[in-house]
Amino acid sequence: MALPQHYKTSHKVRIPASELELGMYVAELDRPWEETPFLFQGFTVRSEDDIRTVQAHCRHVVVDRLKYVRIDRRPREEKKKRRPRTRYRGRADFSPPPVEEALEQAEKTFDESNRLVRGIMDDVRLGKAIDTPAAREVVSTCVDNILENPDAMTLLTRIRQKDEYTSEHSLSVAVLSISLGRALGLDRERLNELGLCGMLHDIGKIMTPDEVLKKPGRLTPEEMEVMKAHPVQGRDILLSTDGVTATALDVAHAHHERVDGSGYPRGLTVDQMTLYTRIVAVTDTFDAITSDRVYDTGRTNIEAFKILTQGSGRQWDGNLVTRFIRTIGIYPPGALVELSDGRLALVLESNPRYQLRPKVLLIPADGRSMDRATVLDLETTLQDAQGEPLTIVRVLRPRDVGVDLHALRQNGLFRSLLEDL
């Protein structure tokens, strides 16, 4: 493909969005990046879907000719043949079965795991020992489910009860950490260890007084010091627990350390932090930002990604942040989105090939009842009923539009979906 003549004559050139072609690098938009679905400020146009999405949001863009790359133009069908679906065999790039097929077992695993985590925390409050064998067993089951289909478990981590934050946060961090570890190619044994680290990382918060842990508002400096004691308290709890490895103990102690040495409690730097600790530091931050708590309203995954990206290399391991975003997707399972035709939808399954076009489940307008499941695969459903391009226009916070995902799940959010299989 020959570049347009005007594209060759300048380092950066403003062109109509209608003239975008594969391989061009979009450096600037004609509107703020925050008003678009593009996570990073600057990207290479790698698919026709990218072109359609830019054109849906912009009339003009600035392209950088020095960053042009040649894109493989083989038909999508041919590319799919080169990557046949296979069961997981220790590889991070296998193609999982559809999320609908994995969801029923994932729900059972998630609910059982959540009960166990609550039980562990209740035992610690009462001065009892942590049931380490039970914790390892439930982590192993989570690993099995995530190796089968990571999207199903990730989806469930987004549907939460605010009053169960500490226990559900611990389970969510375990699930997200296992998913990231899988993407990094860790074997099953290391994934089990990583999952246990995630599940027990915040055990020290059991010792934090409720008037500090659940305070609705900004903590005083004195209260902040009380809160910052939980990594040391978590280490002490795990030191007295049989069957807990040094790795899990280290993560509980160090998950608030930052790679530039600005974290706490010891001010460690990146070369003093284990891979497990650096993974949990990323997933812990993401889950905390996106969760509703007594004292704060959860933000969207897009906002969380931007915070993590801005802190890459200073607070968090930049390579792990990038890999985490790629792993769960720009529109991760469990994200509530608005489609270009005004309908609300819940992301069911991410799309590694075309991240702006995941599989979604339509949400009823009242945000409460669920009579039947309507699933749209945006990779193949390119137009709405009027023949207009169908895209995701923004990510929403459920409470801002009156949607209670937890209540919806209880009232059959996935039941009709499973019945249609």
Task: Name the least confident of 185-199, 210-224, 329-343, 357-371.
Answer: 357-371
Per-residue pLDDT for 86 more than 50? no
pLDDT tens digits for 145-181?
999 889 999 999 988 776 566 788 999 999 999 999 9
- Residues paired with residue 63 on neighbouring β-strands, in sequence order: 13, 26
Report if pTM > 0.85. no
Query: By the 8 A CB rule, do 351 and 153 touch?
Result: no
Per-residue pLDDT for 93 more than 70? no
In the block, residue with structure tokens 């390892």 = 136
Query: By the 8 A CB rule, do 336 and 398 touch?
Result: yes
Domains assigned to the chain: 5-73 (no CATH), 99-328 (1.10.3210.10), 336-419 (no CATH)
Cα separation values, 142 from 164, 294, 412, Å: 19, 28, 23
Mean pLDDT of the chain: 85
Query: By the 8 A CB rule, do 333 and 393 touch?
Result: no
Stretch 400-406: mean pLDDT, rounded? 86
Confidence bin at 418 (pLDDT 50/70/90): low
Confidence bin at 355 (pLDDT 50/70/90): confident
Query: For position 91, what pLDDT does the model report?
Result: 43
Side-chain half-sphere CA neighbours of 59 within 13 A: 0
Confidence bin at 271 (pLDDT 50/70/90): very high
Confidence bin at 68 (pLDDT 50/70/90): confident
